Amino acid sequence: MSTERIERELYLPDAAATAALGATLGAHLRAGQALALIGELGAGKTCLARGVAHGLGVDAPEEVASPTYLLVVEHEGPVPMLHVDAYLPDKTRAFLLDGGLGYLDECGGVAVIEWADRLVDLWPAETLEVRLADDGRGGRVARLAGPAGAFGWLAAIGAPARGD
Ligand SMILES: Nc1ncnc2c1ncn2[C@@H]1O[C@H](COP(=O)(O)OP(=O)(O)OP(=O)(O)O)[C@@H](O)[C@H]1O
Ligand SMILES: [Mg+2]
């Protein structure tokens, strides 16, 4: 299997842009794939996850919230979204190793993992990494990276690379 990676850097001037990026990702992600969300408190992880839920077409995307302390929340729909929280990595790790990973694989859904940098060794093979950081101007910059074979469509998604 090729190890080639694809990377994009996108500028997100406001929360609507974060949600719109999430919706675009949700429209492209396939069952069995995962999104690894990485960023500090308030970076916009949950905002992006809610956008993904819209893009996937889950039944009640507005119900997506920070799942902290719940480990995983399943949002039903044609392609379900499993919203996983690794803020407390030991508990999430135990859940994933005790059947959770198998469930992510078999349930026909997309996993969206917040604080995913705390569980890097458990990422599914087809995981798209999204790093959100403050851009110093009130917005965010998103750095996306993943295996090119699975996420080649990243090259074509539209958004300015850097706002000027
Ligand atoms: N691109 C952006 N520019 C400016 N503000 C944004 C942007 N994206 C999201 N926000 C805002 O940042 C705030 C925090 O967003 P959110 O709750 O999604 O962060 P989070 O990473 O999930 O935080 P936490 O780790 O505390 O749960 C919200 O008020 C949201 O509207
Ligand atoms: Mg959150």
The pLDDT of residue 164 is 44
**Cα–Cα dist 127/161, whole Å:** 22
Half-sphere exposure of 99 (CA within 13 A, CB side): 0
Integer-rounded Cα Rg, in Å, for the chain is 15
The pLDDT of residue 159 is 57
All structural domains of the chain, each given as residue ranges with its CATH number in brackets, are 5-149 (3.40.50.300)
Ion ligand 2 neighbours (CB, 5 A) are: 45-46, 66
The pLDDT of residue 135 is 96
Mutating to test ligand 1, I would choose from 47, 50, 69 the residue with most ligand atoms within 8 A of its C-beta, which is 47
The pLDDT of residue 12 is 97
The pLDDT of residue 87 is 93
Specify the pTM.
Answer: 0.94
The pLDDT of residue 163 is 46
Strand positions, DSSP E, the chain: 5-12, 34-38, 72-75, 81-85, 110-114, 127-134, 140-147
Distance from residue 4's CA to the centre of ligand 2 (Å): 31
| List of the chain residues with pLDDT < 50 | 163-164
Ligand 1: residues with CB < 6 A are 12, 14-15, 17-18, 39, 41-47, 66, 138-140
Cα–Cα–Cα angle for 43, 140, 23, rounded to 5 degrees: 80
